[in-house]
Amino acid sequence: MVAPVTAPVTTTLTLPGPPNPLGVRTIWYQKQRTGQKQRKPYNLPLPFTYDIRQIDTFTYTNSDATLNLSQVWACNDTLWAVELGPASTASFNKARSKFISNLKPAQAELGAVIGEMKQSLNTIASRTTQLAKAYSAIRRLRLGEAARILGVKTPKKRYKQASDALLEFQFGWAPLVGDVSNALKTLTGGLPSFRVHGKGTVHGAGKLAEVTSGTKHNTTYSFTSGHHIVSRVRAINPNQALANQLGLVNLATVAWELTPWSFVLDYFVNVGEFLNGFTDLDGYTLADTNWTWRARADSSETLVWYKTGPPPQPEAGHAAWTGKHLRLQRAVGPLPGPILAVRWPWNLSPTRAATSTALLLQQMHRIKR
């Protein structure tokens, strides 16, 4: 039997940039993709990685100047990780928080469907009982009674109008049979799955300056990190979900809330959210869960080098370049909990500041007493 999903395959494409005056060319573009293929009906979310690094511009004064991807801030994995690592954590936590908040509407929708299924059961019971009573009355030639049960006009007893009576009865039982058929479709369709998603994006920028005895290197960069979490809710245990929301499942969150000044630390570090992450999916059955990370960085750099000798020395040459880096990465599997980290970026709102100040003054007043 052929597997529905193939093993991961990695493809790489590299292209050189224009030659310098000495004819030397270096790699300016690199695209790497790792992914899998699947058979029809193509309905499985698959993990993949898509990575593009590119040098956009390069100007220089020295004829032997060269530039490669590792010299570009945006394309250097080590420099990239310094900023995009924390940014990725922040955007994932933000997307996960939004995903958890979107579970409640899905719970309400599933509850409505369950209500419709219960109503369908009642419809089938009442309509089949009504049809059985009407059939019994017709067999006993009690046409008036059958007409009242079906809710149609009472047929005249003359034999020549039997065809009219037949039509009246047909118009009476046809809607009942239709109601039963529709109710059965609702029941046999099973519980639907609801698509729930959450998105989170953070932005950042910075500058670097590196000065040595003979060079000065300035870097300006900006970056964006975004996560998109998608899953299908297949079933909900409302009692378990409610117990979790009331704090009856994860007692660690209750203990944290009762810890003095815990709310102050929560302004800086997502401790409460981290503790909630151990149980915030209790009561939900998820399927096809996946999350995609989209990160982009752009950088602009200048390098100036000076003639040797005691400072100050005149400029010996300079170079300037720009580059960018784009990465798309999807992971599939059970949704991890939030990552414990400093909030990004930390920004105390006026409301929170006023609340914190009021609580602090209240506590200080109690100490004095």
303 and 330 fall within a common domain: yes
Q: What are residue 239's phi and psi, to 5 degrees?
A: -65, -45
CB-CB contact of 15 with 27 (8 Å): yes
Q: How many CA atoms lie within 13 A of 247 on its CB side?
A: 10
pLDDT score at 166: 45
Note the pLDDT of residue 187: 44
Q: Does 2 map to a domain?
A: no
* Residue 200 lies inside a defined structural domain of this protein: yes
Helices (H), the chain: 77-101, 103-139, 143-150, 162-188, 238-245, 251-258, 262-268, 271-276, 350-368
Average pLDDT over residues 17-43: 92
Does residue 103 have a pLDDT over 70?
yes
Within 8 A by CB and 6+ apart from 282, the residues are: 240, 241, 243, 244, 249
DSSP secondary structure code for residue 336 in this structure = P
Do 342 and 284 reside in the same domain of the chain? Answer: yes
Last residue of a domain, one of 164, 188, 212: 188
In the block, which residue shows the tokens 């529905």?
Answer: 4
Same domain, 46 and 173: no
Claim to verify: residue 212 and residue 256 sit in the same structural domain? yes
> What mean pLDDT do residues 83-108 have?
86
- Does 101 share its domain with 225? yes
Say if residue 190's pLDDT is above 50. no
Q: Counting beta carbons within 10 angstroms of the beta carbon of residue 258, is it exposed (0 to 12), middle (13 to 18) or buried (19 or more)? A: exposed
CB 221 within 8 A of CB 301: no
137 and 215 assigned to the same domain: no
Flag whether 157 is in a domain.
yes
Q: Which residue has the tokens 């100047």?
A: 65
* Rounded Cα gap, residues 235 and 218, in angstroms: 55
Choose among 235, 236, 232: nearest CA to 195.
232
Sorting pLDDT into bands at 50, 70 and 90, what band is 3? Answer: low
Report pLDDT digits (tens) over 275-314: 777 677 777 778 889 999 999 999 999 999 888 766 677 7
Same-domain status, 220 and 342:
yes
Q: Are both 158 and 278 inside the same structural domain? A: no
| pLDDT, tens digit (0-9, with 9 covering 90-100), for 48-70 | 999 999 999 999 999 899 999 99
Asked if pLDDT for residue 162 goes beyond 50, the answer is no
Which residue pairs, CB below 8 angstroms and at least 24 apart, start in 303-306? 303/215, 303/216, 303/217, 304/215, 304/216, 304/217, 305/214, 305/215, 305/216, 306/214, 306/215
Q: Of 142, 166, 188, at which residue does a domain stop?
A: 188
Number of separate domains in the chain = 2
Which pLDDT belongs to residue 186? Answer: 47
Same domain, 209 and 333: yes
Task: Determine the pLDDT at residue 75.
Answer: 96
Examine the domain organization and report whether 56 and 118 are in the same domain.
Answer: no
Per-residue pLDDT reduced to its tens digit, 203-242? 999 999 998 878 899 999 999 999 999 998 876 665 555 5
Contacts from 188-193 at CB under 8 Å and sequence distance 24+?
A: 191/110, 191/113, 191/114, 191/234, 191/235, 192/110, 192/113, 193/232, 193/233, 193/234, 193/287
Residue-range definition of the domain harbouring residue 149: 109-188
* Measured distance CA(151)–CA(171) in Å, rounded: 9
Model's pTM, two decimal places?
Answer: 0.69
Is 174 in the same domain as 227? no
